[in-house]
Each structure stands twice: as C-alpha cells, then as structure tokens.
Amino acid sequence: MTTWPESQGTSTSLETVDMTINVGPQHPATHGVFRMVLTVDGELVKDCEPYIGYLHRGLEKLTENADYRQAMGWWDRTDYLAGMCCEGAYVMAVEKLAGIEVPERAEYIRVLMMELSRINSHFMFLGAFGADVGSFGTSFTYGWRERERIYDLFEEVAGDRMFPTYFKVGGVTMDLPENFETRCRDILSSIRQGLEDFDGLLTGNEVFVERCRDLNPVTPEQAIAWGFTGPMLRATGLGWDIRKAEPYSIYERLNFDIPTGKQGDVFDRYWVRLSEMYQSARIVEQCLDEMPSGRVLNPDLPKTLRIDEGELYLPTEGTKGEYGVYLMAQGGTNAYRAKLRSPSFSNLSALRELVVGNYVADAIVILGSLDIVLGEVDK
C-alpha cells in the first residue's frame, strides 16, 4: 500500500504551479503554421515564446538565383492574401532599379488591383478575427462571400485567383477584359453591402465591442519602438500611410483618407481595417473613372533584362504595413541580393510584450488582431 510522505500529505494551503501550453504550429487560432509556447499561471499568461520559420521557403535565395522576371512568381506567395500588392512592390523595385517606365493605363490597373487585394485581405481578417472573438462561422461566411467575388474577378482578368502573376516589369501582362468596368462596379457595390453587414454583425454587437475595447492598448511610442506599421500603427492614432507619406505609382493623384484609431487597443485595430476598406473602394472607383486608354505594357523592353550596379530599398504600403523590397544589382540577369521587409514579421516580433499579463483567451484575440500572414513572416 502506498504511504504518502508527511510533508505532502498534511499540506493545507493550495498552491498553483505554472503550466506550459503549446499552441500550434497546426492550430486554427494561429492563422497558419505559427507556434507559441505560453507559460500560464491559472488563466494569466506569464510568458510567451513565439516560434516562426515553419513556412520558410528561402524566397530571397530563390530570387537571387532566378532572372528578375522569373523571380516574380515567388513574391506573390509571401502575403498570399493579397498577391497583387506583393507583385506590385517587387515589380516597382525592379523598374526603379532598371529605369523602366510604365504606361499610364498600367499604373491605373495596378493600383486598382492592389486596392482590390487590400479589400480581399482585410475581408479575410474580418472573417477570421470575428471567429477568434467568438462569432464562429458567421463572420467567415460573410467574408468569404465577398472574397469569392473578388477572386472570380481576378481569375477573369489574370487567369488565376490567389497567385495571379499579373504584373510584369514594364506594365501588366494583358489588358482588362471587355466587361470589366461593369463587373467591377457591381462588385464594389456588393463589397460596400458586405462592409455594412460586417458593421452590423461585429460593430453592432455589444459582446464583440465589450470584448475588444480597452483590450491591450498600445501607445504610438511603443508601436514605433516595436516596429509596427500599417493598421497596427494607425490604430494608435498616428496617421502614417506610405501611400501618402512617400507616395508611389499614382497614389498622389487619388483622394482617400487615412483612418486612425484612438488608443491602439484591439477594437481600434479592427476599426481601422474596416474603415480602410471603404477608402480602398473609393480608390478603386476613382481608378475606374479616370482610367486612360492606351498600352498596358512598355513596348521598348529589352529581351533580356540586365541591370547595372545599383541598389535600392523601396517601401510600399502592403495590407499589413510597410512591405519593403531591397534589391542590389551587380550587372547580370539576377539580383545579387533581394530582401523582403515584411510587415507581419515586425508586428509579430512584439507578441511577447503584447500578450504577457493578459488572459489566455485574450492572447488568442490579440494574436488575431495582429493580422499576420505566415507566408510573409517566414519568407
């Protein structure tokens, strides 16, 4: 028969022991192959150790070993929710490095596509974040309904849905199909209706709002020190958007506002993204109104693209924040060095500081509010 030692058997005070919980890499709440190890004291998170790299595909090495044009296909697999934004950043960097001009019409098409991608990516956020907070499948189906329409349009234009490889050094691969404008305007009104639906489903839901408001506020100083950009930074009240601050392509000519939050809490992060989508829809509409006719591809492109010595870092406003491309050329047909500055990577690096001291259930909501995409974090 087992006999218990005196010291343990007679203890009357209740002691808790820290527990370690592994979340991921295969877990629906981590939005991809992301793993974090939480140390919890009851329900409180005492420590958090993030692990990334499960989706590392060596984007930079592959780019350095492929022709400038061929390498494009790897880049829309970084932020795979908004492939066109990534293509845009990479293509603009190559063009600027090589001094290649882009026809006016192609610029309009690109901005239109990039903003549709942004809407697409933010719908994914709304759907998944709603599910994180507890609306289960409803927000997902609302988000997917609109995403499906946008993807159908992408397929019609470029021949592919998620990885269109539609942009090309010097323009875009082909002109828009004939019925494009009508279809796009239809989709815009459907997007606006979808946003109203989300507004009602989430913002109009007291449980959702109470859950998110005042949770995990971040000051602008903290956000800057942690390298936050995009909606995460704007939620703190700092209205910094690269499309306005360091405008590229034709963004200078377009009218749109930069929505900002007040205190950088989880609700503000949600609210900024929702408001941004209305602005993106405005941009798409202006592009349709002002779209000039003409070529969509520069006719004077060299058969083989060789770039002399040079380097540049080109920041663009990706869907998650500053999506920057660094390229170094040393002659020849390949980049000597290509580097992606991915917004999710920097935003995620502060995860420990964000979740420690919160409840486990809130840690999941905070992670969801970062809106990470692992293809971009891991490269």
Partner 1 sequence: MSTKTSPDSGNIKTAELIRTQLPNIPFEISETKTYADLKIEPENFLSLVDGLNKNDALSFDLLRNIVAIDMGEAGLWAKYHFYSFVHGHGIQVTVPAKSTDLTIPSITKTYPTANWHEREAAEMVGLKFQGHPDPRNLLLEEDLDIHPLRKAHPLQKPEILQGIEDGPPGVEQ
Distance in angstroms (rounded) separating the CA atoms of residues 323 and 84: 12
Q: How far is CA 287 from CA 108, 283, 290, 369, in A?
A: 6, 6, 5, 30
Closest CA to 22 of 6, 5, 40: 40
- Per-residue contact string for residues 137-156; x = within reach of partner 1 by CB under 8 A: --------------------
Q: Residues 72, 87: contact at Cβ < 8 Å? A: yes
Q: How far is the CB of 57 from partner 1 (least distance, A)?
A: 10
User: For partner 1, which stretch binds (CB under 8 A), given 23-31, 98-106, 255-263, 270-278?
Assistant: 98-106
- Per-residue contact string for residues 205-224; x = within reach of partner 1 by CB under 8 A: -------------------x
H or E segment to which residue 129 belongs: helix 104-133
Render the burial of 272-293: b for 16+ CB within 10 Å, e for the rest.
Answer: bbbbbbbbbbbbbbbbbeebee
Closest CA to 167 of 243, 93, 97: 93
Q: Residues 50, 352: contact at Cβ < 8 Å? A: yes
User: For partner 1, which stretch binds (CB under 8 A), given 72-80, 142-150, 304-312, 364-372?
Assistant: 304-312
User: What is the CA angle 146-149-155, rounded to 5?
Assistant: 140
Token pair, residue 198, equals 């989300």
Count of residues near partner 1 by CB under 8 A: 53
Determine, following the binding rule CB under 8 A, whether residue 246 of this chain makes contact with partner 1.
yes
| Comparison of 92 and 218: residue with beta carbon closer to partner 1 | 92
Residue selected from 310, 332, 359, 360 as contacting partner 1 according to rule CB under 8 A: 310
Characterize the bridge pairing of strands 322-329 and 337-341. antiparallel
Q: Which residues contact 127 (CB under 8 A, 6 or more apart)?
A: 139, 140, 141, 142, 143, 144, 147
Determine, following the binding rule CB under 8 A, whether residue 290 of this chain makes contact with partner 1.
no
Count how many residues are written for the chain. Answer: 379
Determine, following the binding rule CB under 8 A, whether residue 248 of this chain makes contact with partner 1.
yes
**Which residues does residue 19 pair with via DSSP β-bridges, in sequence order?**
40
Render the burial of 196-215: b for 16+ CB within 10 Å, e for the rest.
Answer: ebbeebbeebeebeebbeeb
Q: How far is the CB of 16 from partner 1 (least distance, A)?
A: 28
Q: How far is the CB of 244 from partner 1 (least distance, A)?
A: 10
| Comparison of 170 and 368: residue with beta carbon closer to partner 1 | 170
| Comparison of 269 and 379: residue with beta carbon closer to partner 1 | 379
| Comparison of 143 and 259: residue with beta carbon closer to partner 1 | 259
Determine, following the binding rule CB under 8 A, whether residue 238 of this chain makes contact with partner 1.
yes
Burial of 295 (0-12, 13-18, 19+ CB in 10 A): middle
Residue selected from 227, 297, 356, 359 as contacting partner 1 according to rule CB under 8 A: 227
User: For partner 1, which stretch binds (CB under 8 A), given 28-36, 79-87, 95-103, 143-151?
Assistant: 95-103
Distance in angstroms (rounded) separating the CA atoms of residues 345 and 53: 11
| Comparison of 103 and 143: residue with beta carbon closer to partner 1 | 103
Q: Which residues contact 221 (CB under 8 A, 6 or more apart)?
A: none
Q: How far is the CB of 23 from partner 1 (least distance, A)?
A: 18
| Comparison of 104 and 199: residue with beta carbon closer to partner 1 | 104
Q: How far is the CB of 263 from partner 1 (least distance, A)?
A: 18
Q: Residues 339, 323: contact at Cβ < 8 Å? A: no
Residue selected from 27, 35, 69, 96 as contacting partner 1 according to rule CB under 8 A: 96
Determine, following the binding rule CB under 8 A, whether residue 101 of this chain makes contact with partner 1.
yes
Stretch 338-377 residues interacting with partner 1 (CB under 8 A): 339, 341, 345-346, 349-350
Stretch 47-86 residues interacting with partner 1 (CB under 8 A): 52-53, 56, 58, 60-62, 64-65
Binding residues for partner 1, per CB under 8 A? 52-53, 56, 58, 60-62, 64-65, 92, 95-97, 101-104, 107, 224-227, 229, 238, 240, 245-250, 252, 298, 310-315, 322, 324, 326, 328, 336-337, 339, 341, 345-346, 349-350, 378-379
